[in-house]
Structure 1
């Protein structure tokens, strides 16, 4: 009889219980290791969580014996055995079908979709089955899962729209779906803890988008600076869903971004600082739910917001960010830069349609000149 009644079983949220579950760790050895890359952080987190959650299974194309195309699942099958870490058919519908059945029987599936473009082959198994199970059964059944997806663009030497894809609109449209998009190694591990805990406690369906181009990135500004490495997060560290992360304390401009855009924005922010412009950079980290409170606070600190969105201009993330700020009452200046409404082509042609640092810097300066 009401929207609240209809939506009650859609996506139960118990943040305190999720926090309790996310801060429990069985494997503490990884916390003592030195700075890691994004790929290494996800690998260690998967190992830690396989210890923590006995029903957790990691599976997908080449994730077992090979350890994944990019080595992210390397060594996990040897440690935990082929019953918990295993290879599947080269078929996304089969992969998500196994996850659907596993979740119903009480397991905690963590399927991998090898590339974001491949997810579209089986998107309805997330939209029409997994994410709607609690909704249509009034909470009697659920399909908890954390779908790891290697995605976005900017891969060097491995082009084409099947391996470089920035289409996230089909995911952001699904009610109740949690979409995590870590860029930094420490965030990736902490956010993966959150997603597994949410799946276990609330039956959440989570999509964990991993930027391929940042998997093995080590430097931020200069060769050898190690600025993109980070320490593995200590036991108990997790990132609540819908919370952003800020860098810098500039008062002239707020740059809102995520994924590969974070690295580009931080690099641009340093160049702006040389010219006397103080910019703060906000990493969304979560594309659903969006961190609206954090966004609004950081936007009001400067009164000028530039949304740096590596996805497409139409159906991308920036549309939701601009709408969220406007709906929340933000009255300052706002602009956005995005990639083009195009598939990602092969080779150097990709640079003609993807967002780049010169475009970001030019837009930032233009926004500062606006009145």
Structure 2
């Protein structure tokens, strides 16, 4: 028999017989009316779990990971404020239900059943997923809480203190808010979670405000793998910088009092706490999971005998808040009400086409205060002696530095964070002087953990900041790429555009650094970025473009709430010459702060009709180096600099190659999975019959030493490829 039916029948039988599990009597501190509200929330959570299984059996519902056994979390919600941002574990339906009771005008049963039914009227995801979440309740949705939401919870908590010092235009959280972040005992072992705990403690240890409540819901098992008894307490009881609290989630009086104490500690001390809550898991992991296939039946039955709803009825009766008969009536009437609502919810419309599903990948625009750019006085004060050099050609790294300065002068909500970005000014000096100009609050030197760097940025975006995190080298992104894929990019999609993660992530990367560090410092793969829906990937080839594109990237984040990655070719940071020693052919003057390059706008050098070379980044530089030899061979060329790698600027690219007889794609990424694959497909589809060829890097990592560029395009290989293409088509 379905374990949910067994638990239900046991509840009815035992309440009628007054056969309650043993436990502590209720303590003082929880108002009787509030205790009853917690029980009502628990009953609704339980009824929704049972109804989700009925809906799935009828083909009307699509998600059955329930909250049964975790209903005590309603008591935690009662101890917090609805303005405390909550990143919820997927077993926290009772928490959301209890919070809904704190905010007028909510229809929580209807809303959650629409989510179960995958209706397009679901107010949080629009039918894209069954998620807990609500804009009105300050609960951003989480699609899965296998620890990936913990780094951004750390960032959101940090943002509360940061907003006290520099309040952003779009800040949402009160100055005295705290951030709530819950997860299971199995997830606490995930490296992502461990990084978040460490970052919160590391920050708190330095007396930096971190008003964060970690809540571990310890039911002792992760799907089928048990958590060793005592492991969570042993791991977290003495963690530096994070105060440990523990309570019994089967005892709502103890849970409420402990959560209230932890919240008061966090709110007054502005330090993080770890609340360890004992729970149980009823029914197994999900609808299709049968716990008796991997646990002894006696153990499953023993767990079911500790049903938290039975403990609640016992305690409510002992306190005089509600009789067992009244409690049973609430339980049964709630189940009947849920069934009636579900019968209507399953009739509501669902998403039917790709356009509907994809409608929230791109977040909505938002209104921003107008800005006229930095004033002359502010620029003079910030730049100092640098102002005198702006009329002279400069290398890319310096122009990026100046662009960042102007942007931070224009937009007080911009914050930068990363390893070495502040005091040192970055590994390559790109952020030099910025901490002196804007202070450590806006130029944040972080610990060495890419997940925490991106989590800090994602969380700060939740409170109105425009984060500009830096990943020191492209290869290091892979330690943390799920923060972009699974968290930042998915948030507008699964919240129907109600929550967003605007940011500009700067990454120093690509190849061609001479003899420096091999693969980890020379990484020419961007495939992981190009297949994330909604992400914009920009890559400049020269300093002037970099400054103007960076301004557009910030506009996209600030006004259109976009997730943007700005990929800076390290080898071009110091580049001065193009064709000969000291010709300064790759240096540029700094463009006026009002000048930008729009998303999708490509660059073209030359008007040659024999050959269009389509490329980006280092490929643009190398192709320009190849031009004299091609001209000497009688081949007229144009070099088309893509600038924007995702989404591909297809219309602009097609226009840029019009009139050219042949197209050569020069791609410094790899042959398999590289940018050239998409470009070849595009030109084959949009310009059938035009001769095409591609020159790419080999499917190889990059070596250290003299062979650093052996696997990638070069001026000589570009010349050879161009001549070969000409020879094939003449």
Calculate the TM-score normalised by the size of structure 2: 0.49
CA distance in 2, matches of 1:42, 1:60: 16
Moved more, 326-335 or 67-76: 326-335
1:323 deviates by: 1.2
- Contact preservation (8 Å) 1:104, 1:142: yes
Aligned counterpart, 1:102: 460
Which of residues 658, 666, 672 in structure 2 aligns to 1:300? 658
1:157 deviates by: 3.2
Structure number, greater radius of gyration: 2
CA distance in 2, matches of 1:3, 1:27: 46
CA distance in 2, matches of 1:32, 1:213: 22
Q: How does 1:232-251 map to 2 (within 5 A)?
A: 232-251=590-609
Aligned counterpart, 1:290: 648
Aligned counterpart, 2:359: 8
Are residues 1:112 and 2:470 paired? yes
CA distance in 1, matches of 2:450, 2:482: 11
Aligned counterpart, 2:510: 152
CA distance in 2, matches of 1:228, 1:349: 24
Question: How big is each residue's C-alpha offset from its partner over 1:28-69, in whole Å with a ceiling of 9 and x where there is no partner?
Answer: 556954222110111001111111111100110101000000
Are residues 1:26 and 2:377 paired? no
For the residue of structure 2 that corresponds to 1:70, the secondary structure is coil
Higher share in strand: 1
Which of residues 277, 298, 311 in structure 1 aligns to 2:635? 277
CA distance in 2, matches of 1:27, 1:38: 24
For the residue of structure 2 that corresponds to 1:315, the secondary structure is coil
Cα 1:285–1:13 change in 2 (3 A) is farther
Cα 1:320–1:13 change in 2 (3 A) is farther
For the residue of structure 2 that corresponds to 1:266, the secondary structure is helix
Cα 1:245–1:27 change in 2 (3 A) is farther
Aligned counterpart, 2:108: none
Alignment RMSD (CA, Å) = 1.9
1:2 deviates by: 2.3
Moved over 3 A (4+): 12-15, 27-33
Work out which structure has the larger RCO, using CA pairs closer than 8 Å and 6 or more positions apart in sequence: 1
For the residue of structure 2 that corresponds to 1:188, the secondary structure is helix
Question: How big is each residue's C-alpha offset from its partner over 1:182-207, in whole Å with a ceiling of 9 and x where there is no partner?
Answer: 01111100000001111011110000
Aligned counterpart, 1:68: 426
For the residue of structure 1 that corresponds to 2:556, the secondary structure is helix
CA distance in 2, matches of 1:34, 1:351: 31
For the residue of structure 2 that corresponds to 1:302, the secondary structure is coil
CA distance in 2, matches of 1:162, 1:189: 26
Question: How big is each residue's C-alpha offset from its partner over 1:264-288, in whole Å with a ceiling of 9 and x where there is no partner?
Answer: 1011112111222111000000001
Corresponding pairs, count = 368
Moved more, 280-289 or 265-274: 265-274
Which of residues 545, 550, 553 in structure 2 aligns to 1:187? 545
- Contact preservation (8 Å) 2:406, 2:593: no
CA distance in 2, matches of 1:101, 1:14: 19
Q: How does 1:1-371 map to 2 (within 5 A)?
A: 1-12=352-363, 24-26=372-374, 29=379, 32-371=390-729
CA distance in 2, matches of 1:4, 1:25: 37
1:159 deviates by: 2.7
Q: Structure 2: any 5+ residue segments left out of the alignment?
A: 1-351, 380-386
- Contact preservation (8 Å) 2:515, 2:706: no
- Contact preservation (8 Å) 2:489, 2:532: yes
CA distance in 2, matches of 1:346, 1:85: 32
CA distance in 1, matches of 2:353, 2:683: 27
- Contact preservation (8 Å) 1:256, 1:281: yes
- Contact preservation (8 Å) 1:337, 1:360: yes
